[in-house]
Structure 1
């Protein structure tokens, strides 16, 4: 497995692969990898001749009071996981390699980035779109892979790819969960033992919502009231939002249909966690 730190070296290798007629899959990550990331690598490995993973904590998607400085990092462990899952090349640049000191060009988006996480993280998706656009221009992959846990991000990237005519297939992969239901996240490491137990209220709320959908509920207000009631049972849970939105536009809906998204962001202590489900997908199961 190659580890490359510069854009010039990366482009040189990609050109060699493309010249040989090989397909390339790209898995963008911020590192501190877990089984959820591994599932993206496995999907890319099964669908492409070559797999590139980026490990880059993107500074421009963090707000001034967010956890850029403390975001967990363990590149040695990341490389072990990536190699074990068949990744051919790891792109691990310094921020100065990605952004010149006088960098002023960003990819912005209206509407989709203004709901859910975009309400409280106003610069986040501008940073995400910019770095993904740069990776797409550099790697020129045939396919790019994202996890469904970041459902709004997935919808935004799909819209950006469509609107800006990137020649790439965007593939979403299912949420990977712990045995007790908690969605895998690099930020789970922030949780104390008590908070880790409390965090299970997110997946329990997801399952409550899925059960209501299965019973025939299609009214957003009814669904959200029940899910919020479940979240309120946990004293350590500080709910930022629970919403039902159109699966493509990310805009709130009063009556939902298959393909729409039910999403939440909840703080457990100081740790912000997200979870979601898509209406019509199979219900999650867990031991809790």
Structure 2
């Protein structure tokens, strides 16, 4: 699996879980702390910011790179998801010596020794679900998703056994799910939630941005623009959730119409969801927003076949 990969100096690359665990055990014996960044690869500046944050808090930083089948449905992009291991290692090395210490790239067979079917009804083995936080927002369109995420993250937390783990705010619902899982399953791990890293024009960094064509990339900024408009209205005193949502929908709809009218474009823009939710339990807010509680505004928009997600926190601090 790792043939023809040039490993940068100072980074340990592991393919076997047992080998990684032996390395991890030595860190414990040496009384060195470990920060952990879980990824599916195709690293960008958002991932690298998590690595840097981890290094600022811990003696060593380990990453996992694993495209997790359990969080993809049979109709999603598992087979085409970008896999760029050599480039990922080079980007980690460019952070400087000693920033990233180790990378674990396990096989699907090791991670799912009983096998893994994309059809949930055919799956066998142990899986983890976080009830109450997984069915809304992303869970509406992708009901399998957080079951797969919670399962693979729990596996990796058990394998890596870090003192601290680092996630990005862009996946805000995922952060809520994992934070609850860590609490409820008594993992002795501190969770850190780091701010979303954006391109200069505001587009949230994502591995799936690589799917966008030049024209799609230009129109993809509508996601950030819709959220920014909502934030502006909120800061100017608007607290009625449906009014804020409609303002964002109007911006996305205008962009959709522009694309539709352009005969040179053979793709479209489609809103999946735009919601305002409670930061406490992700319940949907349908009336006035309480200033003391704040809210999470989140959206998913298809630009062509690429599904982009983003969010903003209004008077909310994502506690680690």
TM-score tier after normalising by the smaller chain length: over 0.9
The CA RMSD measured in Å over matched residues stands at 1.3
Q: Deviations over 1:16-62 (max 9, x none)?
A: 10111111100000000000111000100100001001111011110
Asked if 1:262 is matched to 2:272, the reply is: no
TM-score (norm 2): 0.86
| Contact preservation (8 Å) 2:114, 2:125 | no
Aligned residue for 2:13, secondary structure, equals strand
Partner of 2:263: none
Give the one of 200, 210, 221 matched to 1:189: 210
Say if 1:140 and 1:71 are closer, same or farther in 2 by CA, change over 3 A. same
| Contact preservation (8 Å) 2:36, 2:61 | yes
Asked if 1:158 is matched to 2:168, the reply is: no
Instruction: Return the offset for 1:84.
Output: 2.4
Alignment length (residue pairs): 282
Aligned residue for 1:216, secondary structure, equals coil
Aligned residue for 2:174, secondary structure, equals helix
C-alpha separation in 1, matches of 2:194 and 2:238? 26
Asked if 1:244 is matched to 2:244, the reply is: no
Say if 1:271 and 1:110 are closer, same or farther in 2 by CA, change over 3 A. same
| Contact preservation (8 Å) 2:295, 2:316 | no
Instruction: Return the offset for 1:259.
Output: 4.6
Aligned residue for 1:60, secondary structure, equals helix
Partner of 2:262: none
Partner of 2:30: 20
Give the one of 126, 130, 134 matched to 1:105: 126
* Structure 2 unaligned blocks of 5 or more: 1-10, 116-123, 257-267
Query: 116-125 or 97-106, which moves further after superposition?
Result: 97-106
| Contact preservation (8 Å) 2:229, 2:248 | yes
Give the one of 82, 101, 106 matched to 1:72: 82
Partner of 1:142: 163
Instruction: Return the offset for 1:192.
Output: 1.1
C-alpha separation in 1, matches of 2:245 and 2:18? 49
Asked if 1:46 is matched to 2:56, the reply is: yes
